[in-house]
Amino acid sequence: MKSENELHRIAIFGVGILIVTATFLHGQDNAVTVLGGQGMHTVLETEIGSLTSHPGDKFAMRLLEPVVVDSREVLPKGTVFQGKVLTVLAADPKTHTAAEVGTAFEKVVLPDGRSFPVNASSEQQRHSEFDSRLSVAVALGARWEDFRWKKGRTGWLRLRFDLEVPAAFVSGKPASTNPATR
């Protein structure tokens, strides 16, 4: 049978381990913020168009390069932004109405299948842009004529809201190279 003194030392040691573990884990539970405006090189996984899209249609964009924050890879290459079409407006040259496809991202899916929701309202997401180098589209679609972007079109996605990436989804590995952020 263990002496009372030995049991006391074991209990103190166990409490010490719990404190050290809690302190270590506390520093890892903070979300990482991808600031709005940071460019992300993406490719369309689904077609989007002012004459072909309808409210409720799903769409997706995949990262072609990892997203880096403070020299850490936060979202790896292959991460998919999934969303839905909210509104569609065809261009009307008579009234100078721009074609528009209003969208909102709903979730982010990592290459390993884990996902987390996008916690920004459609109003906060409203001014996000997809720059395909041939044109800039506000809210993923404003232009003076109708348009159709086929699956596979690449460009730079600029979110106009801060994206909170839960700590559990951040690999934390240092980025091998810092991809260009336009």
pLDDT exceeds 90 at position 81: yes
Q: Which residues of 32-64 are buried (b: 16+ CB within 10 A; e: fewer)?
A: bebebebbbbbebebebbbeebeeebebbbbbe
Confidence band, pLDDT 50/70/90 cuts, at residue 16: very low
Q: Note the pTM of the prediction, 2 decimals.
A: 0.73
CA 157, 158, 162: angle at the middle one, nearest 5?
130
Mean pLDDT score, 75-89: 94
pLDDT in tens, 102-127: 899 999 999 999 999 998 888 888 77
149 vs 151: which has the higher pLDDT: 151
Provide the β-strand partners of residue 14.
none
In the chain, the amino acid numbered 64 is L
pLDDT at 125: 85
- For residue 36, give both structure tokens: 């709005």
Query: In angstroms, rounded to a whole number, what is the distance separating the alpha carbons of residues 61 and 51?
Result: 19
